[in-house]
Chain A
Amino acid sequence: MSHRIKKSGILIDRTKPKNFTFNGKKFRGFQGDTLASALLANGQVLMGRSFKYHRPRGVVASGAEEPNALMNMGQGARFEPNQRATTTELFDGLVARSQNHWPSLEFDIGAINNRLPKFFPAGFYYKTFMYPRWAWKHLFEPIIRKSAGLGTAPQQPDADRYEYFYAYVDVLIIGGGSAGLTAAIEAGKTGAKVLLVEQTPHLGGRAPVDGFGIDAQLNTLKNMKNVIIRTRTMGAGVYDHGYALAYERITDHAPNSDQPRHRLWRIRAKRIVTATGAIERTLNFSGNDIPGVMLASAVRDYVSLWGVSPGKSTVIVTNNDDAYRTAITLFNSGQTVAAILDARPMGGGALANQARDLGIRILNGKAIKKVTGHKTVASVVICDQSDETSDTETIICDCVAMSGGWSPVVHLWSHCGGKLNWDAKNAMFSPDPNRPPTGHDGQGFVISAGAAAGALGHDAGIQNAVSAGRQAAVEAGFSASKTIASIAASTPESPMLAVWSMPQNASYALRLKTWLDFQNDVKVSDVQLAAREGYESVEHTKRYTTLGMATDQGKLSNINGLAVLADSLNAEIPAVGTTTFRPPYTPISIGSIAGEARGALFKPTRKSPIDAWQDANHAVWEPVADWRRPYAYRQSGETTQQAVTREINATRNSLGLLDASTLGKILVKGPDAGNFLDLVYTNMMSTLKQGRCRYGLMCNENGFLFDDGVVVRTGEQEFLCHTTSGGSDRVHAWMEEWLQTEWWDLQVFTANITEQFAQIAVVGPNARKVLEKLGGLDVSNETLPFMGYTEGRLAGIWARPYRISFSGELSFEIAMPANQGQEMWDKLLEAGAEFNITPYGTEALHVMRAEKGFIMIGDETDGTVIPQDLNLGWAVSKKKTDFLGKRAQQRSHMVDPNRKQLVGLYTLNPDYVLPDCAHAVENGKIIGHVSSSYFSPTLNCSIAMALITGGAGRMGKVLDFVIDGKTVQAKVVDPVFYDKEGARQNV
């Protein structure tokens, strides 16, 4: 059983106990513990259940590569699933629950699957749940959803906040082990600006565990002002052009503080050094997933760093020298090492001799045939590595420390295209320095260092890192010394032996319980089956077997898996290759990706100068692009629909008031302004007289209508172009693009001055009376006729009323400086009280425009509609030699008389309002759809506009609309429902 030992534990502070719970049970650890080390210290080896077979699982590793010890962490608004116990720092009050078990961790019904492994082979889901087809949705999927999956989803909104931080450096170093620290010193010496990020709270990586001090390095770095070190910060991804993401966990170890929980660093670096170390591999023997079987390096870490021994009696099984360090560490800490099984016939080198001198039993050429035990290791049965049937011996133990060799962490090197070489001597992929990821100049921008570069062993790693650090700085434009002192390895090691199967030709029965991927329950037999079924590509095999998927992305299993695949395919390992390494290195929180953009900061809301008044006066808000606009102003006791009706009736009968400030306003000025607008609009703008307004349409190069609005000529060389509320930025960018890229010879400047002005529409038969009452401007029909404008002081405020109408009523749209919009609004309300002045919202605006047959961009247009379809051919100039869209509108399809055309509709049942987008059906074919549909209070009946094939030729015909299986009939009419001659606006 795992337990705390008296001595050792570099990272823990035994004077500071920390209380936590696991599955509701109270436990105690020390400051500096991880959740995993604290659980082991309390004898809790069983930490979860596996994905498919619900097998008992314990912790395997001691760091980011951990596949098993995944926890449902925290509670309520701070709950998060799939948190690795090995990277969770212990704090007082930590609450963790194991995952994927029912009803309890100790007794799990799903473990029945474990008895039926023959029925759950690779591709099980694909093979089993094919027929009958209906059963997937109604039977299989609901059951699988219950039993599969890892953690549970959070039920409450996240209580924490998150943020980004942008940083710019010469050299970014990812990894704070001895290689990273060395590279940082070397790069720092040149004067380069260096940022080093380390995922754990501690620097040094494996060096302190293996007895290599880092104090001298830290002292050197302390005095380098140009080198900054951030711990608890993981290099998450490397992207094009030296861009990198780093994930800082600020309060995971200290929740309930008012700091952001995570900070996502968005770093631009001239060079990136990946000093990401190496990960030890598992060995493939039967029962290698039973709790108590761990990586040899992890066993060593738990003893040295946290003062925890994973077992009372440990068997070490290895194919290399490094695992002997674990044996020596255990022995020196007073723990029992039952035996060292070395798969190599000749055994190990200097370290093996050291272990032998300590009196540890060493068996060369031996393998684990199988591990026995259920919830924890009971014993190992050993045999010759070369022969399963050889004489066997059973060794009682409760912990197995395995080492299958080491794999450099090449993820960050590979994210942006760095290529790998197969190193047969060490049986590992390592970065090829001649094929790095390249930047804009074709030069490599990532340099790997230390074990991550394939330089295994402390001394080789340091030497490699010295050169990597200097290279990074030199390539970033600094100069460094060229001489590198050669360092002799302090402890020479014997070569490792590639062992992909233990014993060598393990029988099917053994392979059936030999796990490759612990997180996804993929066994050697599954990969072999996939190969037999024709899966040759490692990427396909991954998806078919789930090898290397899910939260750990196969950090432990990838190399073993593809070695087994290569063996099954009779191919070389480098020919099979690796799956693609994609960011992030380990999962990062969704919160960190969203950054500060949540709650009130989720998305900017644009607010008009009259917004506060509207909010206080019961506006029902509607988003219009990024603006919020009042849909209607609901008075007490009213429904929204009743409010809309009231607003329309008051406007048509007397006086309405609309905040139109959101309309886009683009100033176009210069000697060629008229010519420019002739090119941008479909109609002629250069002939517009000063002081006059003209409705204009804008089409794209394909002839399709995309914006409309009133153009005002404010000077000989100056026009003000109104756009739709959502279109101002787009139209301004559109104009600038043409001016800058195509028509750069035109002498024209533009400016988007949308927000400089508030704009208020005063609408209705009494509109003129209220303006006259405010006083200061002659707004008579003679001085200010329809489609004209005037300027001056209205009620003492500089104002420019335009005689334009989107409602069909007598209407003035008054522009004034934005900061005086509210003042004007208040004055209008006061002066208009006697006329029952009624503020109205966007829905009343929409209904009134539809009554008049006016189109709305986005309702009547959808990117496939040309002006001619909307009976707006009159606004498309025949005289102009060119304008955007002209040529496209002459194509045969655009002049086809059977294009969809705009028509009006009266439903035969006048109370029935057609749904928007309802389809018109004729002889079983769709011939068009409803584009706008309302109940018109003015006409006291339902009205709609629709785009119908050959619509102009269907006047008076009745069309069928199919709604929820029923047919609704409507008669085709002129789309101008109200006051076709325009008498009401022209007074």
Chain B
Amino acid sequence: MSEFKRKSTDGEIEISQPDFTGMVTLRADLANSETIINIERIIGLKLPEKRKLIGDLSHGMAWMSPDELLVFCADPAAMAAQLNAGLSGAFLVADVSHARAVFLLQGDGVREVLAKGAPVDLSPEVFLPDDFRRTRMGQVAVAFWMSGQSPDSFGLICFASVQEFMFDWLVTASKKGSLPHYL
């Protein structure tokens, strides 16, 4: 995680793109108690609540929909294998580490940068630590979340094919002096 594909420190926030984040899509009936037990056992974390993230990028789980989770891990191939072996019934496991790009956003203006592109209430009393939201940023489908550890630290994922566009968008939206200072 020491290498960055892209990085910008010139604007109101710091934008960086870690070189690699292990990500596995898991689709299953998340209301099924046996499935919940198995997932929690294999991953070693409690199932996240609706629109929440549990853990972090090295070991975590995000709620994507009532039947979809995104698992963050160091070794996605091993994680996919464990899930495939440990789950039963109808489910789908897919390594999506290369299909998605991760951005780390740092700075006290992050909420306002995101609010330029996402129809989401990002005010501090509403968007809370570990909140995870699937939405859009401008024209790009994204999900973003607020880190539970540090209040000004957000993460964002989008599809890999638009990562250049996403980076340019974030750099533009966070240009010095361009924040409305509203939130």
Q: Which residues of A contact B (CB under 8 A)?
A: 161, 163-168, 193, 228, 230, 248, 257-260, 263, 266, 268, 595-597, 600-601, 603-609, 627, 667, 669-672, 747-751, 753-757, 817-819
Contact = CB atoms under 8 A, between A and B. Distances in A.
A749 B180 contact: no
B168 A627 contact: no
A814 to B, nearest CB: 15
B89 A164 contact: no
B89 A747 contact: yes
Contacts of B34: none
Contacts of A747: 89-90
A597 B92 contact: no
Interface string B23-60: 00101100000000000000000000000000000000
B160 interface: yes
24 contacts: A161-B172, A164-B116, A166-B120, A166-B121, A166-B122, A193-B123, A258-B176, A258-B178, A268-B119, A596-B117, A600-B168, A604-B165, A606-B159, A608-B161, A669-B92, A670-B91, A747-B89, A749-B67, A753-B96, A755-B98, A755-B159, A818-B98, A818-B160, A819-B98
Given A597-B138, A818-B99, A165 B89 contact: no
Contacts of A193: 123
Contacts of A751: 25, 27, 92, 94, 96
Given A670-B92, A755-B159, A165 B98 contact: no
Contacts of A260: 178
Interface string B76-118: 0000000000000111101111111000000000001001111
Given A601-B165, A755-B99, A595 B175 contact: no
A607 B94 contact: no
Contacts, number: 125
Given A167-B115, A168-B126, A596 B138 contact: yes
A163 B173 contact: yes
Interface of B: 20, 25, 27-28, 67, 89-92, 94-100, 112, 115-123, 126, 138-140, 159-162, 164-166, 168-169, 172-173, 175-178, 180, 182
A754 B166 CA distance: 18
Cβ-closest 10 pairs across A and B: A749-B92, A606-B161, A747-B90, A168-B121, A818-B98, A755-B99, A749-B27, A756-B99, A669-B92, A670-B90
Contacts of B119: 166, 266, 268
Contacts of B176: 258
Contacts of A671: 89-90
Contact of A748 (B90, B117, B118, B164): B90
A935 B166 CA distance: 40
A612 to B, nearest CB: 10
B57 to A, nearest CB: 17
A603 B169 CA distance: 11
B172 A596 contact: yes
A382 to B, nearest CB: 53
Contact of A755 (B25, B67, B161, B165): B161
A754 to B, nearest CB: 7
B56 to A, nearest CB: 22
A163 B116 contact: yes
Contacts of A596: 116-117, 138, 169, 172-173
Contacts of A259: 177-178
A258 B162 contact: no
B175 A597 contact: no
Contacts of A819: 20, 98
Contacts of A166: 115-116, 118-122
B120 to A, nearest CB: 7
A600 B116 CA distance: 17
Given A168-B123, A258-B177, A604 B162 contact: yes
B139 A597 contact: yes
Given A166-B118, A748-B90, A818-B99, A755 B160 contact: yes
Given A670-B90, A756-B95, A756-B98, A163 B178 contact: yes
Contacts of B95: 756
Nearest to A740: B67
Contact of A667 (B94, B120, B169, B182): B94
A206 B173 CA distance: 36
Nearest to B166: A604
B178 A165 contact: no
Given A165-B182, A755-B99, A607 B164 contact: yes
Given A168-B121, A818-B99, A606 B162 contact: yes
Contacts of A667: 92, 94
Contacts of B90: 669-672, 747-749
Q: Which of B91, B118, B180 has the most CB of A within 10 A?
A: B180
A667 B94 CA distance: 8
A753 B169 contact: no
B179 to A, nearest CB: 9
Nearest to A754: B99
Given A259-B178, A596-B169, A604-B166, 4 more contacts: A165-B116, A268-B121, A596-B172, A753-B94
A756 B94 contact: yes
A248 B178 CA distance: 13
Contacts of A263: 180
B165 to A, nearest CB: 4
A607 B119 CA distance: 26
A817 B98 contact: yes
B126 A595 contact: no
Contacts of A230: 182
Contacts of A167: 115, 182
Contacts of A163: 116, 173, 178
